[in-house]
A and B are shown apart, each in its own frame.
Chain A
Amino acid sequence: MLIIECPWCGKRDQTEFSCHGEAHIARPLNTEELSEEEWGDYVFFRKNPKGLHYERWVHAHGCRRWFNVARNTLSDHIHGSYKPGETPPTIDTQEVSQ
């Protein structure tokens, strides 16, 4: 079981949260010019890295706020969480690969 830090409530059990996939996907602004392939990329295609992953979580049973988590998908180590709009923390990839 993971302990996840909500930026507002602090450290809580994983079962209070739910994960909603890759973070920092911006909706394209030039929507009328997008090809079907570009729409497909935006709507369906997600990174699936082995290692560092920036992802969106929601504190579903708590304050019900969305935030981002930097997590290692291999070790489940959580490098940190940060509020929407904040710059993702830079993470030493050496540390990640361990």
Chain B
Amino acid sequence: MNDQQPQVASGSRADAVIKTTSPAYNRKRTEGDNTLVELPWIGKINLRGNPEDSRFVEKIKSVIEVELPLESNTQHHNNSVTVYWLGPDEWLIHCKIDRVQELMAELGSQLSSIHHAVTDVSDYYTVLQIQGPNATTLLRKGCPLDLHPEVFKSSHCSQTRFGHASILLHKLDSSTFNIQIRWSYTEYLWDYLVTALDAVDR
């Protein structure tokens, strides 16, 4: 057996550029009636656990000061934290990026004797915000949800798809939506939306 390791060019790892921002970072689409921006630096924590365990539910509430949403496709929030339902045993916490370490540590210690998982996914997803009179019309083109204002109301949220990309859609008010998307799909979504907005605003 050949035990010689393949030679790696010295410094190649150190030279690798690690991007700390998504492909939409510093891009803006603000001309016209509708705007598209990225909301960078949102901390995101994925949380798994058993909602039937009342200790789990209570500990989470004591840490984030928001009740865990137990109904599918809903969110609860206060001034500093939004927590989304992702599945029957899965949630996503949005907070300020500089609170992630503190919250992770606090959740980890509070839940130490309870079956759970806490994962920092801050740089796995980013959030784009689309705002304007045509936001709903535009989202309808790529998203199969019923986005009629009487059905999908302000504060509603849902995991769904836009084009080929999985998204978490959150309606803030009648003309503003946050779209959470994986970094690797961000460029796709950004280009799709900007091209569509250019057509709408013409």
- The reply to whether A8 and B159 contact each other, CB–CB distance below 8 Å, is no
Give chain A's interface secondary structure class: loop
A79 touches B (CB below 8 Å): no
Contact A60 B87 (CB under 8 A): no
Cα-based distance from A8 to B145 in the complex (angstroms): 15
Contact between chains at B87 and A16 (CB < 8 Å): no
Contact between chains at B144 and A8 (CB < 8 Å): no
Complex CA distance for A64 and B88, rounded to whole angstroms: 10
Bound CA span A28–B64, Å: 45
Contact across chains for A13 and B72 when beta carbons are under 8 A apart: no
A61 touches B88 (CB 8 A): no
CA distance A15 to B144 in the complex (A): 8
B72 touches A8 (CB 8 A): yes
Are the C-beta atoms of B87 and A63 separated by less than 8 Å?
Answer: yes
| CB interface residues, A 24-74, toward B, < 8 Å | 60-65
In the bound complex, how far is the Cα of B88 from the Cα of A10, in angstroms?
A: 13
Task: Give B179 Cβ to nearest chain A Cβ, in Å.
Answer: 13
Assembled-state Cα–Cα distance A63/B187 (Å) = 23
Given the complex of chains A and B, what is the CA–CA distance between A70 and B86 in angstroms?
25
A10 and B87 contacting across the interface, CB-CB below 8 Å: no
**Which residue on A lies nearest to B166, using beta carbons?**
A61
Q: B73 in the interface, Cβ–Cβ < 8 Å?
A: yes
Please name all residues of chain A whose beta carbon is closer than 8 Å to the beta carbon of B86 when the two chains form the complex.
63-64
Q: Closest CB of chain A to B15's CB: distance in Å?
A: 36
Query: Digit string of B138-175 for contact with A (CB within 8 Å is 1, else 0)?
Result: 00000011000000000000111100001100000000
Task: Say if the beta carbon of A20 comes within 8 Å of chain B.
Answer: no
The 10 closest A-B pairs by CB, nearest first: A13-B144, A61-B161, A63-B87, A61-B166, A62-B159, A8-B72, A9-B72, A15-B144, A8-B88, A65-B87
Report which A residues bind B (CB closer than 8 A).
8-10, 12-13, 15-16, 60-65
